[in-house]
Amino acid sequence: MDRINDAFKPLFGQPSWPVERGRESALFSNRPAMVFLEFGDPVLTINEPRNWPVHIEGAPVETPGRITFVRGQWHLTLMTGCAWELMLDNSPLATSSSDSSLVDRALDVLDGQAIVAVDIDSRDASTVFTFDLGCVLTTHPNLSDDDGEPIEQWGLAVAATASYLCVRSDGKYKIRRRSDRGSRIEWIPIA
């Protein structure tokens, strides 16, 4: 668990910006939408142009396009397989199964709050993210997908080290670096 705590130490005291709900997907219609939280200074990423489908009647089939986005130095993602609840001063604001408009309003309350603590239950990877202005975001794992495989619950991307920490519903985690692509990274029990 020391490696997980070490990954979060630089985030403590960093305000979250913007806190957003991902779009729902027809592929995962039975699961909650992803939630994204950015922390630290903005990092602009500009990808090289490539052809993209247009999907508009009467328009060309493809057009060149470039994906650009701004992320924080740290990017926390709650995955589609992660059940969660957001509280403010012990009052429930929303859960992963709440109506999308309620989720958006609740995430607006969390937006700008600084993360101050992260506590993980090593048995099932339930995690409590505590923020400075009274919000507490608690994750509860969905234990497996339709194939019985453990589900990734949340992940933390760290721009400075090009690394990604991922926690799974069976109480295991892994840290991979961009240079590890194609390599098999073993899941490690949270201890």
Residue 57, in any domain of the structure? no
Does 8 map to a domain? Answer: yes
Domain contains 117: yes
Number of domains within the chain: 1
Any domain includes 37 = yes
**How far apart are alpha carbons 140 and 138 in whole angstroms?**
7
CA angle 127, 128, 133 (to 5 degrees): 155
User: Could you tell me which of 182, 92, 184, 173 has the C-alpha nearest to residue 137?
Assistant: 92
The pTM assigned to this predicted structure is 0.87
Residue numbers of the domain that contains 129: 2-52+63-189
Q: What pLDDT, in 10s, does the model give residues 40-62? A: 999 899 999 999 999 999 999 99
Residue 68 included in any domain:
yes
Structure tokens at 146: 């339709």
pLDDT in tens, 115-136: 999 999 988 899 999 999 999 9
